[in-house]
Amino acid sequence: MIDPNTLKETLIEVTQNVPAIKKRHVLVTDDEMVEFLGDHKAGDNILLLAVLPTYGGFGEEDAAGAISYMQFFVLEKVDYKSFKNQDEYLAVFQRTLEAARQFLIEMFNINLLNCTQEQLQYDFQIRPVSRKAQCNGYEIQIDSKAYTDEY
């Protein structure tokens, strides 16, 4: 299970290798996002937001473990009036997708739970986000399943 402090430290470590991400922040719930994005400046693009994970358990006696459901947003604040055409709008998604891909590559190289690769499994989804508090980009959901005797 990834705890809040480990998540924050991991974001710092991971984003050092993703130069497109200029700012990062940890939220407790995604409900806080719109308020936080209201203060985000376009000069701070691209922004990575992490939401504290939710947790679950799985398995039986000898094959039990914990799942951390992690949610991230890779966003760019835009001025819609400045778009001259659809290509400029889509370019925002291209830039944020490239940053999201690099973020995922770096995340999967980090050993979040001090587990071996046989003990740790990941599933992820990437979904576009449009016009959320003047931001566009992608939501990334990572489900990290760890086989362990300790929670």
Mean pLDDT of the chain, nearest integer: 85
Strands (E), 39-96: 47-58, 65-77
Length of the chain: 151
**With 70 as the cut, is the pLDDT of residue 102 above it?**
yes
Identify which of 1-5, 34-38, 45-49, 107-111 has the greatest average pLDDT.
45-49
In the block, residue with structure tokens 């003047």: 134
3-state secondary structure of 61: coil
Q: What is the pLDDT of residue 106?
A: 87
67 φ/ψ angles, rounded to the nearest 5 degrees = -115, 130
Mean pLDDT of 19-31: 91
From the number of C-beta atoms within 10 Å of its C-beta (0-12, 13-18, 19+), residue 100 rates as buried
In the block, residue with structure tokens 């006696």: 61
**With 80 as the cut, is the pLDDT of residue 147 above it?**
no
Residues in Cβ contact with 40 at an 8 Å cutoff, skipping those fewer than 6 apart: 23, 47, 75, 77, 133, 135
Percent of the chain with pLDDT over 90: 42
Residues in Cβ contact with 51 at an 8 Å cutoff, skipping those fewer than 6 apart: 26, 27, 28, 29, 30, 70, 71, 72, 73
Global pTM value: 0.84
Read off the tokens for 112. 């979040």
Superfamily for the 4-147 domain: Phage tail protein-like (3.30.2000.10)
- Output the furthest CA–CA distance in the chain (Å, rounded): 60
3-state secondary structure of 1: coil
